[in-house]
């Protein structure tokens, strides 16, 4: 069948173009219309109709203000490091605008899973400490890290051994960053929306619903749980196949209401490292550096993992546990309270905050949790794992404080 095509011979003979390609004159084509980012429809130039202007979601600017006002308390002349990937460009722009209003000094550190993969695959020697990155964090007042990956599987073909080696080499950087006013947050991307099994628009609503809250009210609500956990000597969690107990005596409980994680909504502490006893079955997938493990089971004796298994990707679990001696011990016990996070999304920044859940972290304990005269667990990793307690119970010193997902004082 013959198909009629528009005759473009009238456009004139081809002319040499860039890179050797031939081009034709198109006298009817208008020159490009350049519009500054963030231009409102009412300010649209004549060359572009207002309905075609790209306008920043106002929630992004509110997110930026929340990070700088509530989470990190940025002041004039503060030096602020923002670690983010290209997908978070809009949030980075919003942060720069807010920092300019405050008279603070931003510096954006580009990060990308694909770039990390390229370096890891090409590097075949021992990893060294990147002194320039360490110096950057030593010099800053505030550190904001934005998760915004376009590909959650970017590191899936990098060996767990190499990832663990890099983690050990970079440990001083993590420690320095955690000594600052720091916050970890999320910018919604298609990759994270797909992992959550949501369209991007619905995922944006989910993210901002969890982030844009009255955090002072959340902090007040969680204070009763913090007070009780601070006073407890032992904690026991019983749910399904899980029955695990640990000492938290002389450790500090933290009321986490958006200061270091955004979103937040948890109260957490550090176990006495050698005190953990029992068995735990994590009924939600564990994801570490892009590698997903399912059906993880751990048995603890004397605070150490003595048996481990996974229904999927057990090799990745073994690599994690073999990172260093501290990777086989717990560094955190956390209790989630954020009921705005009502679904598992394969993103621990959100998932560990879900109401009616407990999370346990293998690896490093946070210094703020370790009481005077106590020793917290030390490791190059800190990996959270979640279990559902909606049909279980949590006990402090043998007294039930949550059963069936409800706290006894609610």
* pLDDT tens, residue by residue, 188-200: 999 999 999 999 9
| Mean of pLDDT over the chain | 89
- Classify residue 357 as exposed, middle or buried by CB count within 10 Å of its CB (0-12, 13-18, 19+): buried
Range of weakest confidence among 181-195, 277-291, 351-365: 277-291
In terms of DSSP bridges, do strands 142-147 and 382-388 run parallel, antiparallel, or are they unpaired? unpaired
**R_g of the chain, CA atoms, integer Å:** 25
Q: How confident is the model at residue 9 (pLDDT cuts 50, 70, 90)?
A: very low
Q: If DSSP codes are grouped into helix, strand and coil, which group holds residue 354? A: strand
HSE-CB at 364 with a 13 A cutoff on CA atoms is 15
Rounded to an integer, the average pLDDT of 270-279 is 97
Per-residue pLDDT band for 286 (boundaries 50, 70, 90) equals confident
Strand order from edge to edge, sheet including 254-256: 254-256, 266-269, 330-336, 357-363, 382-388
Given the structure tokens 């990893």, which residue do they identify?
Answer: 127
Region 164-185: mean pLDDT is 94
> Which residue in 62, 115, 69 sits closest to 91, CA to CA?
62
Local confidence band at 7 (pLDDT 50, 70, 90 cut-offs):
very low
pLDDT of 45 reads: 55
Q: What is the per-residue pLDDT for 46?
A: 56
Among 150-159, 167-176, 271-280, the range scoring the smallest mean pLDDT is: 150-159
Q: For 386, which DSSP code? A: E
pLDDT at position 5: 43
CB-based contacts of 320: which residues, under 8 Å, 6+ apart?
Answer: 160, 164, 288, 327, 362, 381, 383
Q: What is the pTM of this model?
A: 0.79
How is domain 58-187 classified at the CATH fold level?
Thermophilic metalloprotease-like (3.40.1830)
Mean pLDDT of 62-68: 98
3-state SS class at 204: helix
- The helix (run of H) or strand (run of E) holding residue 245 is strand 242-247
| Inter-residue contact 351 to 345 (CB < 8 Å) | yes
Give CA–CA dist 297/283, Å, rounded.
9
Residue 23: is its pLDDT beyond 50? no
Predicted pLDDT of residue 19: 45
What is the average pLDDT across 158-169?
Answer: 90
Unique residue bearing structure tokens 């079955």: 281
Contact in structure between 381 and 320 (CB atoms under 8 Å) = yes
Q: Are 158 and 103 in contact (CB under 8 A)?
A: no
> pLDDT tier at 144 (50, 70, 90 boundaries)?
very high
Place of tokens 């905050």: 353
Mean pLDDT of the 47-54 span: 49
Is 184:349 a contact under the CB 8 Å cutoff? yes
User: In the prediction, which pLDDT does 360 show?
Assistant: 97
Phi and psi angles of residue 253, each rounded to the nearest 5 degrees, phi first:
-90, 140
Pairing of strands 142-147, 181-186: parallel
Tell me the average pLDDT across 106-126: 93
Residue 101: Cβ-neighbour burial (10 angstroms; 0-12, 13-18, 19+):
exposed
Residues of the chain with CATH 3.40.1830.10: 58-187
pLDDT computed for residue 160 by the predictor: 84
| Residue 289: band (very low, low, confident or very high) from pLDDT cuts 50, 70, 90 | confident
């Amino acid at each position: 069948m013959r198909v009629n095509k528009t005759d473009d011979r009238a456009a004139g003979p081809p002319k040499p173009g860039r890179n050797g390609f031939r081009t034709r004159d198109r006298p009817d084509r208008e020159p490009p219309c350049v519009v500054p980012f963030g231009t409102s429809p009412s300010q649209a130039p004549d060359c572009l109709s207002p309905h075609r202007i790209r306008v920043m979601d106002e929630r992004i600017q509110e997110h930026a203000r929340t990070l700088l006002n509530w989470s990190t308390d940025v002041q004039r002349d503060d030096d602020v490091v923002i670690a983010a990937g290209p997908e978070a460009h809009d949030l980075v722009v919003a942060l720069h605008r807010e920092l300019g209003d405050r008279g603070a000094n931003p510096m954006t550190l580009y990060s990308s899973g694909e770039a990390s993969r390229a370096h890891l695959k090409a590097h075949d020697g021992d990893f060294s400490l990147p002194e320039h990155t360490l110096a950057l964090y030593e010099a800053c007042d505030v550190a904001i890290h934005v998760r915004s990956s376009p590909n959650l599987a970017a590191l899936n073909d990098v060996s767990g051994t190499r990832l663990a080696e890099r983690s050990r080499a970079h440990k001083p950087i993590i420690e320095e960053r955690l000594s600052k006013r720091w916050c970890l947050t999320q910018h919604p991307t298609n990759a994270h929306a797909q992992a959550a099994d949501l369209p991007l628009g619905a995922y944006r609503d989910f993210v901002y619903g969890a982030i844009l809250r009255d955090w002072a009210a959340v902090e007040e609500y969680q204070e009763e749980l913090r007070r009780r956990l601070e006073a407890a000597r032992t904690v026991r969690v019983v749910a399904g196949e899980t029955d695990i107990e640990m000492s938290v005596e002389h450790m500090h409980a933290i009321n986490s209401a958006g200061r270091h994680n955004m979103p937040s909504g948890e109260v957490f502490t550090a176990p006495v490292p050698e005190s953990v006893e029992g068995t735990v079955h994590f009924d939600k997938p564990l994801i570490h550096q892009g590698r997903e493990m399912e059906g993880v089971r751990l048995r603890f004796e004397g605070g150490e993992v003595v048996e481990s298994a996974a229904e999927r990707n057990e090799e990745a679990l073994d690599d994690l546990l073999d990172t260093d001696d501290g990777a086989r011990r717990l560094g955190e016990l956390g209790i989630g309270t954020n009921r705005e996070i009502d679904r598992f999304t394969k993103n621990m920044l959100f998932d560990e905050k879900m109401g009616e859940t407990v999370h346990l972290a293998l690896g490093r304990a946070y210094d703020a949790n370790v009481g005077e005269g106590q020793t917290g667990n030390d490791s190059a990793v800190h990996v959270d794992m979640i279990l559902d307690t909606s049909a279980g119970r949590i006990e402090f010193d043998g007294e039930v404080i949550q059963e069936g997902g409800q706290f006894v004082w609610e």
